[in-house]
Amino acid sequence: MPAHVPMPRPRTAGILLHPTSLPGPYGVGDLGPAARAWVDLLARAGQTWWQVLPLNPPGAGDSPYSAFSAFAGNPLLVSPDDLAADGLLRTDELEAAHLPAGPVNYPLAAAAKNRLLTRAWARFRDGAAPELLAEYTKFAASAEWLEDYALFTAIKETVPAGVWTDWPAGLVARDPAALDRARTDLADAVARERFAQFCFARQLAALRGYAAARGVKLLGDMPIFISGDSADVWAAPHLFDLDADRRPRFVAGVPPDYFAVTGQRWGNPQYNWDAMRADGFAWWAARVRATLAQVDAVRLDHFRGFEAYWEIPARCPTAIEGRWVKGPGAELLAALRDALGELPLVAEDLGLITPEVDELRERFGFPGMRILQFAFGGAVEARFLPHAFDRNVVAYTGTHDNDTTRGWYAGLTPHEVAALERYAPEAKADPVWALIRLALASVADTAIVPLQDVLDLGTEARMNVPGTVGPWNWSWRATAEQLAPAAFDRLGALTATYGRASAAPR
């Protein structure tokens, strides 16, 4: 297959910020008023892209990369304020759910949001907001994944400890009689989950429309692998490499690298690619289609795994004993293109990248990623220096997996500091904005800066430390004071200077 030559793209810029990191009174950011105010800030600064992490319901360790579903949305992102505007919640109920400002405390935020969603569902079930009924009915009938997810989640609420393979045998094996009993016994809980997903989809669509009217697009994120403790694996175990007890035979991860000396053992089950080939990769097509219904473009996390993936025996406690196995590569991507048309995907091509991975990305014309921190400190690679970029890449100062640039700079050796200052002399006075300028000035079609770098924050604002599980991951939130409009004018000026400003009215 000849290489796909991408259409020329305009020069654009954006900011990386997960919605959970927005300020707000409910302990976690959501899709409501603060998200609309955030879009206004992006437009003010001439930004075209709002990049988010996966929007699915987070599972183990509160990680959006280990979700309970590859299709469902995160109910924590549902805005209580917007439910009140629909007539489904009262003002006093909103005020009673307010939590202190600060990092996300997922158990507290989930408890508060769940109480509000339960009240909103009870009112909707009893006839409130009747103008939404037809829309709700259409959504519930058209989302093919919804029934399995709603039942899975309702069962989990009754058996909260452990993973689904620890459930009663009939539910694990999806015995029809056991499933029918569960649907009957948990009918209201299942309906509530349908309603929560309807609220998420409706609010996200409204936010996306609000953003589009201001020249802002959403760049989503899709992990290559699926959590073993998910509705997807429970509902379609034949699509995954499982043993007779429906537990993974092999799990995903990466070999030892800059981030972890024993590698990263993610624990996700590997796919049964032969089973997926048998129906033309229909599950993957459905997944990508559903994601692209929510956002304008998608970052494919761990793109190199499509060419070859690191397979770890499930019994092994670390990733050291894994091996590389050929992935579905061009066969899968061609099937997706045939099913969906042009694919607005960004390939996360970080880590150990071989010529075969580069060839696969270039064959389909996907932009790659270039991380400026990796050009000057830590895992230094020449391909991350701006003079080595080509246009078809997305340039970043850092990502959610990196320290903030301020924190990263504090950990550089004197030799690394000297190399950075030779390349960008202004780094001596202002290293964070030196990297921002390098990203915006580069030839890369797109430049993305994490909000933490725009705000010049230190390690305390880091979003994730790969290979670790703890309360420090995924919990950072911006404050309302940090999102003052004037803080974004400097970014807006640089964005315009380097020809990246959105042309939309602001």
From 365, 381, 413, 123, select the one nearest 257 (Cα to Cα): 381
Q: Kindly write down the DSSP assignment for every residue of 53-88, as one continuous string.
A: ---SPB-GGG-TTSBS-SSS--GGGS-HHHHHHTTS
Active-site residue, 279 included: no
From 272, 261, 220, select the one nearest 50 (Cα to Cα): 220
Here the tokens at position 284 are: 């993957």
Secondary structure class of 179 (helix, strand, coil): helix
Number of helices followed by number of strands (H, E) in the chain: 21, 12
Query: 287 CB contacts (<8 Å, ≥6 apart)?
Result: 70, 71, 222
Element (H, E) at 34: helix 33-44
From CA 324, how far away is CA 30, in angstroms rounded? 39
Active site residue: 62, 148, 232, 301, which one? 301
Backbone φ and ψ of 450, nearest 5°: -60, 145
β-bridge partners, 325 = 309
Element (H, E) at 161: none
From 120, 264, 145, select the one nearest 195 (Cα to Cα): 120
Active-site residue, 175 included: no
From 343, 352, 204, 217, select the one nearest 284 (Cα to Cα): 343
Contact between 469 and 418 under an 8 Å Cβ cutoff? The reply is no
From CA 377, how far away is CA 380, in angstroms rounded? 6
Angle between helix 106-125 and 187-212 (nearest 10): 100
From CA 277, how far away is CA 300, in angstroms rounded? 20
The three-point CA angle 476-17-307 to 5° equals: 110
Active-site residue, 95 included: no
Active site residue: 296, 321, 331, 401, which one? 401
Burial of 385 (0-12, 13-18, 19+ CB in 10 A): middle
What is the Cα Rg of the chain in Å? 23
From CA 229, how far away is CA 172, in angstroms rounded? 12
Active site residue: 148, 348, 349, 403, which one? 348
From CA 498, how far away is CA 443, in angstroms rounded? 10
Pairing of strands 446-450, 12-16: parallel
Which residues are annotated as catalytic? 301, 348, 401
